[in-house]
Amino acid sequence: MPGMADQNSDQEKTEEPTARKLEKAREDGNVSLSKEISSVALLIAAIMTVVGSSGRIYARLEEIFESFFQKAGGGFEDKEEVIGHLREALWGGLEVLMPLMIALMVTVLLVNLSQTKMLFSIKAMAFKGSKMNPINGLKKIFSVKGTVELAKGLLKLAIVLWIGYKAVYKDITHFVTFVISPLEYSLTQMGSFILLFLIKIIGALLFLSVADAAFQRFQWKKELKMTKQEVKDEFKQMEGDPHVKGQRKQFGMKLRRQRRLDHSVLASDVVVTNPVHFAVALRYDPDNGNAPIVMAKGQRLRAERIKELANHYGIPIVVNIPVARALFATTEVDEYIPEEQYKAVAEILAYVYKLKQDLKV
């Protein structure tokens, strides 16, 4: 309805995304992903591969150039022979680069899959016309996210320039000796300097990438936040879906036999609280028992955790100080409540059932 849509758009998104919202975002390929982590990982993989196979690369390149120039020195009979020698040299160069290319491909695959928890989404790869819209592109450039990306790029450039300046300024007299030193010595010394220079850059960029990963996750969770009305609408939709209700009941009964707290709260109908010191999760199934059963109970920090899980799974929370205290003191987990609490708990359950019925209307 238009009126409801306008009302939702006007509300501030203050609520954390529900489990269903996070699952839907994941199905759409919308996950937290830091490009900086991938960039640093690729740089590390490239350096390790080149350094680890530097002897083989040098020997193979020397062999390729020596072979090519020897053949070139003897002259070529025709154009086909020249093309053949060039093709041979290019294939040799590709052979040298192949381990590096494979290492980079494996690295980017592993890093991205680890960040997305092994997600491979077809929806994220599908063509979208909005991506080709230049206006949307300009909006991204001048958005807060675009500004942050620009700032990160400038910061990385500043880091590289500053480290390069400090390194060159410190060893400027040493570099002058390369001009009059033997070529093999100069190349060895320059290689060591470049490797040390890259290690310093990687250290700085690694710190930046960790900060970026934390920021990207914060921004991702912020974009997925929901309004109070959206949370209520989602709860009503799930409660009204017979398939979801059946799944929830079956899942809850299955997990009831396990000792994990989140499973116990998920299988509950209501959580009765003190509201600060105690919390008791109850479930009533008239087909499997004559009285409500205690699914979980906790005091202080555990009570807070039970309430957090109840909010997360949409389990109603009812504040009733005497009942919460009595249930906590007189019952254990997986025990039926005592007979003297039947009336009080029945009133609480009736209130919860009425609340759920009102939400469906």
Residue percentage of the chain with pLDDT more than 90: 12
**pLDDT at residue 128 greater than cutoff 70:** no
The Cα 282–Cα 85 span in angstroms is 81
Three-state secondary structure string covering the chain: CHHHHHHHHHCCCCECCCHHHHHHHHHCCCCCCCHHHHHHHHHHHHHHHHHHCHHHHHHHHHHHHHHHHHHHHCCCCCHHHHHHHHHHHHHHHHHHHHHHHHHHHHHHHHHHHHHCCCCCCHHHHCCCHHHHCHHHHHHHHCCHHHHHHHHHHHHHHHHHHHHHHHHHHHCHHHHHHHHCCCHHHHHHHHHHHHHHHHHHHHHHHHHHHHHHHHHHHHHHHHHCCECHHHHHHHHHHHHHCHHHHHHHHHHHHHHCCCCCHHHHHHCCCEEEECCCCEEEEEECCCCCCCCCEEEEEEECHHHHHHHHHHHHHCCCEEECHHHHHHHHHHCCCCCECCHHHHHHHHHHHHHHHHHHHHHHC
Look at residue 326 in the predicted model and tell me its pLDDT.
Answer: 92
**pLDDT at residue 310 greater than cutoff 60:** yes
Look at residue 71 in the predicted model and tell me its pLDDT.
Answer: 67
**pLDDT at residue 264 greater than cutoff 60:** yes
What value does the mean pLDDT take over residues 66-93? 72
Going by pLDDT thresholds of 50, 70 and 90, the confidence category of residue 53 is: confident
Going by pLDDT thresholds of 50, 70 and 90, the confidence category of residue 122 is: low
Asked if 10 and 228 count as a contact pair (C-beta separation under 8 A), the reply is no
**pLDDT at residue 298 greater than cutoff 60:** yes
Q: Which CATH number fits domain 235-360: 3.40.50.1000, 3.40.50.300, 1.20.120.550, 3.40.1690.10?
A: 3.40.1690.10
User: Which structure tokens are listed for 12?
Assistant: 């501030």
What value does the mean pLDDT take over residues 162-181? 74
Find the range with the poorest average confidence among 48-62, 76-90, 155-169: 76-90
Q: Any idea where the domains of the chain sit in the sequence? A: 32-117, 133-225, 235-360
pLDDT per position as a tens digit, 139-169:
555 566 677 778 888 888 888 888 888 877 7
Which amino acid would we find at residue 269?
D
pLDDT per position as a tens digit, 207-251:
888 888 888 888 888 888 888 888 777 776 665 556 656 666 665
Residue in 247, 291, 283 with CA at minimum distance from that of residue 267: 283
**pLDDT at residue 8 greater than cutoff 50:** no
Look at residue 224 in the predicted model and tell me its pLDDT.
Answer: 85
Look at residue 294 in the predicted model and tell me its pLDDT.
Answer: 92
User: Residues with Cβ < 8 Å from 186, sequence gap 6 or more?
Assistant: 178
What value does the mean pLDDT take over residues 269-282? 91
Residue in 329, 304, 333, 307 with CA at minimum distance from that of residue 318: 307
